[in-house]
Amino acid sequence: MMQAIRRLLIGKPLHNNELGHQRLPKWKALSIFSSDALSSVAYGPEQIMLTLVAVPGLIAYGFMAPIALSILLLLAIVVLSYVQVAKANPGGGGSYAVSKKNLGELPALIAAGSVFADYILTAAVSVSAGTAAIISAFPFLAGHEVSLDLFVLFIVLMLVNLRGVRESSTAFVLPTYAFLLGIIGLVAFGVFKAFTQSSYLIHPDAFAAQPLNWMVIFLILRAFANGCSSMTGVEAIADSVPMFKRPEARNATITTYWMAGILCLMFTGITFLIMHYHLLPIPDITALSQLAEQVFGRNWFYFYIQVTTMLILYLAANTAYNGLPILLSIVAKDGYMPRYLATRGERLTYSNGIILLTIAAAGLIVIYHGQIDHLISLYAIGVFVSFTIAQTSMVVHWRREHGPGWKIRACLNGLGAFTTGLVVIIITVTKFVHGAWMILVFIPCMIYIFKKIRSHYDSIAKQLSVPPEFVIKEKANKAESKHIVIVPVSTPTRVVFNTLKYAKVIGDNVIAVHVANDEESERKVRAKWDQWDMSVELVVLRSPYRLLMNPLIEYIETIDNMKGTNDFITVIIPEFETKRWWHRLLHNQTGWVLHTSLILRKNVIVTTVPFHLKE
């Protein structure tokens, strides 16, 4: 029945041959790989606003424009850098693969650790933001954020991904374009209204910037750091070059530019409108929802925006499901994670990785009660650490390659590495107490775990390897292996009879051992023995202290110490399997005790011939 439920939920097993990629045209690739990046505008600009209004006085919008401009500049640099990555790595591969090739183990592991954090947070943040969008539209759902989030994670995302979906499925194409259309419509109409209805124009006072002091600078930098969350996901296209139609690198580059252009347009538009309508945070209502309401009122277009926002955000969470299990499998193949993360399940998906991701993201959502603001604090840092490492790898790559125009390319990536590195420092400093410290603890922990796991596998591989000399030496050792079979007997029952039959099959030298508390017990067993006449020697050990195990184990140890290193001892415990588990409570567990007492001895095998009680 478990099997049937599983089939229903997950589907039938898939054949190896069913694995394979479909090449994507640019318009499909754009929608699929940029859902994470584009959906960020649903929370990025809002995060800048939230940080600024935290300051008393009206400085809120005085610094918003410069911050937004710096983020756009940063976006330009990162995009240009990643175009280089796409060109240099037509085989694809994220920052782990790139840095492993160019920089070595440690940077690669740092990248892996930060991308892990990044993916888990992508899932958690996107699902929470999607739920926030829908709660803004339907306020009666407020208070059920965490339940909704968990439902989406476990029932929608996990199950869909365990079944395995083609990334190219049209189901994934529509929401992105629908969202894009909605936001561009919102921005266009909003800007049109802003310039035609003069009454709504921004009041000049709102732009009055407070005099700068360290406190204010710190807050501006923190707002910038929060705004950087709009840029998560830009690397997705560069990581997936081989999925594009030929010429892959060129198509990927063009798509990256398109994505950057759209992202830039939406980000600028939304930021402008937030400033124009002078939005302030309202509990349970996102900034995007406020905007849409200001621009359209609560009509069907408003609901269209909210629903498509929700859809693209859940889709963005899905990119974590596309990315993390594959990354886990690559890292696991290198021996830094448990090996079974590298094997595909029966539906060809990396099931273990999918489950792991779901649990981790669900854990974060439960801990932070599904509040995006808190999750965002943890976010960007991992992304930018991996950006920095990837760009640095590219500098090394170009220096090694010495291809045409390598200097310019190296400079471009160098600039990218420098800027993103700077951003890492800004985020670390301004958001340290807000959660950045957690990521800075998480990454070293992950590196420690990676190394521990790898060294365990290395040590096992060494211990288990069979060098040719070993085989030759073993063969040279002509000494015949001797084999002694010991059967402990308490009462001569059918189980013992059956066990003895097997014992005689697997060895010529069978000894039955009985531990007798007193003469009567000995006499009884001997009588039965003579009656059976199995031609098996019966050794009786006297145990005046009524201990069963000790004399038996001592006897086996004596024989073990006498035997050669090449010889084997098999101890076969006559045990029966009861029909119901609770019947076990009525029988002593000597078999189990014997098993654990002998397990550490070399070439002593403890086994049982299963005998099943029918009642």
Closer to a second copy by Cβ: residue 476 or 505: 505
Q: Determine the Cα–Cα distance for residues 51 and 432; give it in Å rounded to an integer.
A: 15
Q: Which of 471, 554, 558, 592 binds a second copy (CB under 8 A)?
A: 471
Contacts (CB under 8 A) with a second copy, residues 504-563: 504-507, 517-518, 528, 531-533, 544-547
Closer to a second copy by Cβ: residue 171 or 460: 460
Report if residue 481 touches a second copy, rule: CB under 8 A: yes
Options 135-143, 271-279, 337-345, 416-424: segment touching a second copy (CB under 8 A): 337-345
Options 135-143, 321-329, 340-348, 397-405: segment touching a second copy (CB under 8 A): 340-348
Closer to a second copy by Cβ: residue 245 or 528: 528
Closer to a second copy by Cβ: residue 54 or 599: 599
Contacts (CB under 8 A) with a second copy, residues 3-62: 13-17
Closer to a second copy by Cβ: residue 96 or 529: 529
Q: Name which of 147, 182, 292, 274 is nearest 223 in CA terms.
A: 274
Options 98-106, 219-227, 266-274, 475-483: segment touching a second copy (CB under 8 A): 475-483
Report if residue 603 touches a second copy, rule: CB under 8 A: yes
**Six token digits for residue 334:** 């290198």
What burial letters (b/e) apply to 128-140, b meaning 16+ CB within 10 Å?
bbbbbbbbbbeee
Give the containing element (helix H, strand E) for 577.
strand 576-577
Query: From the CB of residue 492, how many other CB atoms can be counted at a distance below 10 Å?
Result: 22
Give the CA angle between residues 84, 237, 161 to the nearest 5°.
150
Task: Give every CB contact of residue 467 below 8 A, 6+ residues apart in sequence.
Answer: none
Report if residue 209 touches a second copy, rule: CB under 8 A: no
Report if residue 568 touches a second copy, rule: CB under 8 A: yes
Q: Which of 247, 588, 592, 596 binds a second copy (CB under 8 A)?
A: 588
Q: Which of 250, 278, 344, 374 binds a second copy (CB under 8 A)?
A: 344
Size of the site for a second copy (CB under 8 A): 74
**Six token digits for residue 402:** 């010495």
Q: Which of 70, 493, 509, 597 binds a second copy (CB under 8 A)?
A: 493
Q: How far does CA 536 lie from the centroid of its chain?
A: 58
Contacts (CB under 8 A) with a second copy, residues 243-282: none
Q: Determine the Cα–Cα distance for residues 603 and 570; give it in Å rounded to an integer.
A: 8
**Shortest CB 544 distance to a second copy, Å:** 5
Closer to a second copy by Cβ: residue 432 or 497: 497
Written as one string, the DSSP assignment of 317-368 is: HHHHHHHHHHHHHHHHHTTSS-GGGGS--TTSS-HHHHHHHHHHHHHHHHHT
Q: Determine the Cα–Cα distance for residues 188 and 177; give it in Å rounded to an integer.
A: 16
CB 307 within 8 A of CB 134: yes
CB 119 within 8 A of CB 327: yes
Report if residue 406 touches a second copy, rule: CB under 8 A: no
Contacts (CB under 8 A) with a second copy, residues 414-453: 453
Give the full edge-to-edge strand order of the sheet including 537-542.
537-542, 509-516, 483-489, 568-573, 604-608
Report if residue 402 touches a second copy, rule: CB under 8 A: no
Options 44-52, 342-350, 403-411, 428-436: segment touching a second copy (CB under 8 A): 342-350
Q: Determine the Cα–Cα distance for residues 108 and 115; give it in Å rounded to an integer.
A: 10
CB 491 within 8 A of CB 538: no
Q: Determine the Cα–Cα distance for residues 415 and 27; give it in Å rounded to an integer.
A: 30
The number of CA neighbours under 13 Å toward the Cβ of 243 is: 19
Report if residue 609 touches a second copy, rule: CB under 8 A: yes
Q: Which of 497, 521, 555, 597 binds a second copy (CB under 8 A)?
A: 497
**Shortest CB 107 distance to a second copy, Å:** 24
Closer to a second copy by Cβ: residue 13 or 66: 13
**Shortest CB 352 distance to a second copy, Å:** 10
